[in-house]
Structure 1
């Protein structure tokens, strides 16, 4: 799973630009539960990869990033994003929102609250679709209703997997520029569920507050926590093994990327150690070839290292190629590089 290391102001700018240009922008909000599910559900994982933004929504992800030396800017939840938009008092920044999901009656309560406060979000429509299948709640009449509302922001609240699946199924037909599954946000807005106090959020204990307020959640949190600890142990081992010193005399190869284009195939050769500050040439090469109709071959035979940002780039390229139904394969993966990719949870990148 890839995450965007962004700050709130950057996300707000993306949202407002998407609304201004009516450009589609899907925002995912991965937390620990998302990560655990994505590890065993390829379709769910792909839905996160296809999102335009993936926010770091859980403190365990912030802690894990810092554990592995990734300078995460901090936790940025979907609830925080919604509240920042909601608190705006500038009429020029007001956005129209459509609420889709939540228990019966909750969406209406949330809509009434938003419209009564006259803040940065005005509700122009809502629907609680019930507990039918994704197919059943994707009826063309429902999509037409959402589009006819003229909303700028579509808040989906159907449960993580179902919500992501619904967005995947209907995104092409939706005319709302910004779409995000925000789960409990609809309940927070309606006032039926109280969010943790700020000091509890800052301490990274919002999960404990949720259990306190909704005791039935303890089983899910226990299951997710156990799975996450196992993933952390496995990832730490792989990362440690991948970072062992190179054999004596192997030398370090300067970072370089070469594109060799043939009649039917494009080969991208990646040499050396690639890290976030110097990814510009690699990013440019991958973007230039992402839409090629030819088979794409990624040669990692001379690659000595990839940090999380580099692995994320390759993962996104792979997903784009698969979505387009175009050829893709990887060659020259050393055992060391294989362990490194696995340490970042990118097993399918090299399999």
Structure 2
């Protein structure tokens, strides 16, 4: 049985959220020095992968690529590949915080605006008191501040580096400094801090179950309509894309 579904050159492992979390739990427990990079792959990432050679290298070398986006799931099923479910950056982060509260994991958060970052930390402190927040920084830093942020992360050595600066900026940052960050696992989580802080309201569960979370977000943030135009383009291209052998796999 094929253990992954290939979508426009990217191999998505056929893993549930729980199975993905187990992999990350095992990585933390192994105490390896090499950074484990998790890419949450949505249609935008897949489309950028086609033309961004650096992003292609990043994804091919990633420890784990998850199917973050109902478009990925739908295309896989139409092509007979059957990815089991979405594994989004937001869902993964919330579950990691729940697990971290039991296992006393440490986190560093990079991303969102200053007010949202601070509010998110307050909420995490309240809901997950046994999680250690080693540090945080907003995502609107100047270029000349970047090295200092990297040095701070390195000195703190978190179990998880959570980067919420948007894709593919987060992926490029993690890859650029992967040998300097001194974190066990790094994950780009898009706008997850906006959701945890309450700045952006996540779709109700019924919308999520109906695979209409994208529509809910568009209603909440009409300015996203230009970004949403990529979805039909992705669907058409992905359905007729001729896949080749090879590609990324889970690296443990």
Spell out the pairing of 1:55-66 with structure 2 (5 A cutoff): 55-66=66-77
SS in 2 for 1:69: coil
Q: CA deviation at 1:122?
A: 3.3
Gaps of 5+ in 1: 239-307, 321-351
Partner of 2:146: 138
| Cα 1:45/1:137, change in 2 over 3 Å | farther
SS in 1 for 2:109: strand
* CA displacement 1:127-183 (0-9 Å, x = unmatched): 0142534xx4531x3222112333211100112021111111101111110100101
Q: Of residues 187, 194, 197 in structure 1, which corresponds to 2:194?
A: 187
* CA displacement 1:9-50 (0-9 Å, x = unmatched): 222222122222222211100011111111221211221111
| Cα 1:60/1:111, change in 2 over 3 Å | same
* CA displacement 1:295-340 (0-9 Å, x = unmatched): xxxxxxxxxxxxx7x82xx2249xx9xxxxxxxxxxxxxxxxxxxx
Measured on the aligned residues, the alpha-carbon RMSD in Å equals: 2.2
CA distance in 2, matches of 1:106, 1:122: 19
Partner of 1:228: 234
CA distance in 2, matches of 1:96, 1:226: 39
CA distance in 1, matches of 2:98, 2:119: 18
Partner of 2:127: 117
Partner of 2:19: 10
Spell out the pairing of 1:1-351 with structure 2 (5 A cutoff): 1-23=10-32, 24-88=35-99, 91=102, 93-118=103-128, 121-133=131-143, 136-139=144-147, 141-222=148-229, 224-232=230-238, 234-235=240-241, 238=242, 311=245, 314-316=246-248
Gaps of 5+ in 2: 1-9
SS in 1 for 2:240: helix
CA distance in 1, matches of 2:174, 2:101: 30
The answer on whether the counterparts of 1:110 and 1:189 sit within 8 Å (CA) in structure 2 is yes
The answer on whether the counterparts of 2:101 and 2:128 sit within 8 Å (CA) in structure 1 is no
The answer on whether the counterparts of 1:138 and 1:170 sit within 8 Å (CA) in structure 2 is no
CA distance in 2, matches of 1:44, 1:88: 30
Q: CA deviation at 1:119?
A: 5.0
With structure 1 as the length reference, what TM-score do the two structures score? Answer: 0.63
Bigger RCO (CA 8 Å, 6+ sep): 2
Size of the aligned set, in residue pairs, is: 239
The answer on whether the counterparts of 1:87 and 1:120 sit within 8 Å (CA) in structure 2 is no
| Cα 1:204/1:87, change in 2 over 3 Å | same
Q: CA deviation at 1:120?
A: 6.2
Structure exhibiting the larger radius of gyration computed from Cα positions: 1
CA distance in 2, matches of 1:209, 1:119: 31
